[in-house]
Amino acid sequence: MRALNVLRCADAVLAEDTRRTAQLLRAYSIRTPLISYHAHNEAQRRDSLVERLLAGGALALVSDAGMPTVSDPGTDLARAASEVGVRVVPVPGPSAVLAALAGAGLPTDEFTFIGFPPPKSGARLKRLKSFARIRSTLVMFVPPHKLIGTLEDAIVAYGDRRCSVCRELTKVHEEFWRSTLSQAKEEFERRAPRGEITLVIEGAKEGVEMRDDDDNDDDTAGPATSSVEDALRALLASGVSPSEASRTVAKELGIRRRETYSVAQRLSEELKR
């Protein structure tokens, strides 16, 4: 009810998608003017909106799906407004981060929110590796067309940890798919992922040592054998051939393929037993 009152009383509603927000306003007979405000125009509109706020205006901000400013439009506007003394008041609503945590079946006492990992594999893997030693549960947003690549990189960065692929949270087709990273890769290669995805991955276990490539000044030093085997084993278990698994792990870890191929062959034979 508070959110509806805010939308009614505002001088204008900033909407990431005016078509969707218009449907919401019509459903509750709210006639507040709409202003398009999204990732592609927020920089151009920020200053004029701050001026409007300084003149005494009241603006409401609505994102298409999720909490405004949390990997959604509004962060720069909220910062700019607060810097000039304008009061910024959050109106809590559905949050994919907290909804995913609540339903993922993984520890919730501590969590780290990563946001959207980089779209390209090399930068994404580097970013994921930076959280390899974190023991808190990891939460990130993943576009559906990037899910398989993200799962592959997560396997290389973390080994085959437990995870939950959470789709369309708080919506009609909400789904929690819980298993391991390798099984998630196999599942969503079989059926193309759709909708907005929040990926939840368990944190590092106590006592597990993981090599931090960024802190190692010796460029000739290779990754730990256990890390190579964990990554290969996870890919092989998801149905990837030994040749492809060795190629993927060698590329992602920056080592020669001949160093991974024999290991991949051995692990493949072990999995067949």
For residues 134 and 111, give the distance between their C-alpha atoms in angstroms, rounded to a whole number. Answer: 9
pLDDT tens digit string along 164-222?
Answer: 999 999 888 999 999 999 999 999 999 999 999 999 999 998 755 554 444 444 444 44
Task: Single out the residue of 253, 258, 252 nearest to residue 149, CA to CA.
Answer: 252
Q: What is the signed CA dihedral for 130, 104, 153, 195, rounded to 10 degrees?
A: -120
Q: What is the pLDDT of residue 180?
A: 96
Residue 183's alpha-carbon distances to 32, 124, 135, 180, in angstroms, are 47, 20, 22, 5
Q: What is the pLDDT of residue 10?
A: 96
132's tokens? 């390899």
94's tokens? 């559905």
Q: What is the pLDDT of residue 94?
A: 77
Query: Residue written as tokens 């893997």?
Result: 125
Task: Single out the residue of 160, 204, 205, 168 nearest to residue 184, CA to CA.
Answer: 160
67's tokens? 């909490």
For residues 235 and 182, give the distance between their C-alpha atoms in angstroms, rounded to a whole number. Answer: 6
Task: Single out the residue of 182, 23, 166 nearest to residue 106, CA to CA.
Answer: 166
Residue 240's alpha-carbon distances to 225, 234, 237, 265, in angstroms, are 20, 9, 7, 12
Answer yes or no: are the C-beta atoms of 219 and 209 closer than 8 Å. Answer: no
Strand ordering across the sheet containing 175-180: 111-115, 137-142, 197-201, 162-167, 175-180
The number of angstroms, rounded, from the C-alpha of 177 to the middle of its chain's C-alpha atoms is 15
For residues 265 and 253, give the distance between their C-alpha atoms in angstroms, rounded to a whole number. Answer: 18
Q: What is the pLDDT of residue 226?
A: 58
**DSSP string for 94-110:** --HHHHHHHHH-S--SS
Phi and psi based region of residue 191 (left: phi greater than 0; alpha: psi -120 to 50; beta: remaining): beta
DSSP E strands, 40-185: 59-62, 111-115, 137-142, 162-167, 175-180
**Count of alpha carbons within 13 Å of 53, Cβ hemisphere only?**
24
Residue 269's alpha-carbon distances to 183, 186, 235, 236, 264, in angstroms, are 19, 20, 14, 10, 9
Q: Which residues of the chain have pLDDT under 50?
A: 211-222
The number of angstroms, rounded, from the C-alpha of 247 to the middle of its chain's C-alpha atoms is 26
Q: What is the pLDDT of residue 251?
A: 74
